[in-house]
Amino acid sequence: MADALKLASARTEDTPGVVASAVYADGQRIAEVPIEDVGEWSRKPGHVVWIGLHEPSLDLLRRLQAEFGLHELAIEDALKAHQRPKLEQYGEALFVVARTAQMLEGRIAFGETHVFVGQGYVVSVRHGPSTSYTPVRERCEASPTALSAGEDYILYALLDFIVDNYMPVIEAIQTEVEDIEDCILAETYTQSRVGRLYQLRRDLLRLRNAAVPLVEVCRRLEQPGLPGIDASLYPLFRDVSDHIRRVQEEIESLREVLAFAFETSLMAGQAQQTEITRKLAAWAAILAVPTAVAGIYGMNFEHMPELEWQYGYAFVLVIIASVCGWLYWRFRQNGWL
C-alpha cells in the first residue's frame, strides 16, 4: 500500500501544471492521487478530491473535464485569464473566479484563481503571479474537524486566503504614501515621486475592481439555493464579505489621501515656480540699473558733460551701487530674495 501511495505521488508531481492532487475523508488526507483516478475517488461517499493547478494546459483541463463532467464554458474560462470575478452555476457544480494581488518590485501584480466546486471535488486553477495555496492546504489539514465539512469549506478557505492577501498590499502602499507625504511637506519631493503618486492611485483603482466584485460572489454564497453550500458555512462567507468591505474602505481612503497628496504636490510645485519667478524678477530689476546707466554712457554723442568731469566715473559707480543696494534691501524686505 505504501509503495502504491509513493507511486501515485510521483505521478502527480510529474504531471505538468499539477501542484497537488490529494483525496480527503473525514478531514484527513488519505493519499495523493493521479489525475486519471480523481473521478473515481470523488464518487466515493465521504471523500473529497482537492486538486491545485498552476497555468494548466488545455489537455490537462480536458482530462479533468472528463473525470468530473465540468462544463465546456467553465473550461474555456479557466484556460484563459482576464476574467472578471464572478460566480457561475453549471448544474450541480459551481465555478468561481477571483483576482489575486501581491506586491512585486513596487507594483501590484494581479493574478487569477478559478475554482471548480462540485460533489466530491474542488479544483483550483492559478494564473499569473499568484501566491501558492500550500498554506491554505496546510491550515485546512491542521483542522480536520473544519475540513470534514467538505467542498464548501475548502472554497471558503481559498476565498478567505485571497482576500486576506489584499491587506499586505494595502499596508505596503500606505507606508509608501506616508513617506511621500512627508517628502512633499518637507519640500524634498522630486518629479518621479509625483509620478509615483499617480501610478499608485491607478493601481489602487485596479485593486478595487478586483476586490469589490467578490462581495457579490460571497453574497450569493450566503444565500440558500446553491448546490453543495451548507447553511452552517453562511457566517463564514459573510465574514469574507466583511473583510472585502474593509479592504474597499481602505482603498477608498488611500485613494483620497493620494489625491490630496497629488494636489498638494502640484500646489507646492506652483509655489516653488512662483518663488523662482519672483527671484528672477528681483535680480532682473537690480541688474537693470547698471545696464541702463551703462547704456546711456555707451551712446556715441560728442557733447556729454560728465565725460569731462574728474569724479564722474566714481560718482556713477556710487550711484549704481547705492540704487542696487537699496533695491536689494527692498526685495529682501518683501520676501522676494
Length of the chain: 337
d(CA 51, CA 39): 11
Dump pLDDT digits (tens) for 32-87: 999 998 999 999 998 999 999 999 999 999 999 999 999 999 998 888 877 889 99
Decide which of 96, 121, 141 is a domain's last residue: 141
d(CA 139, CA 93): 25
Q: Residue range 315-323: average pLDDT? A: 85
**What is the rounded (10 degree) CA torsion for 247, 249, 250, 252?**
120
- Strand, coil or helix: what is 20? strand
**The domain containing residue 284 runs over which residues?**
274-333
Q: Does residue 267 belong to any structural domain of this protein?
A: no
Q: Does residue 30 belong to any structural domain of this protein?
A: yes
Q: Measure Cα distances from 213 to 33, 167, 202, 333 in Å.
A: 34, 16, 18, 60
Task: Identify the bridge partners of residue 102 per DSSP, sorted by sequence position.
Answer: 109
Dump pLDDT digits (tens) for 14-35: 678 899 999 999 889 999 999 9
pLDDT of residue 65: 92
Q: Does residue 35 belong to any structural domain of this protein?
A: yes
pLDDT of residue 159: 94
First to last CA, the chain: 89
Q: Are 175 and 167 in contact (CB under 8 A)?
A: no
Could you give the count of Cα atoms lying within 13 Å of 275 in the half-sphere of its Cβ? 9
Q: Does residue 97 belong to any structural domain of this protein?
A: yes
Number of domains, the chain:
2
Q: Does residue 256 belong to any structural domain of this protein?
A: no
Q: Are 33 and 25 in contact (CB under 8 A)?
A: no
What would the grid cell of residue 199 be? Answer: 501610478
Kindly report the CATH number assigned to the domain that includes residue 293: 1.20.58.340
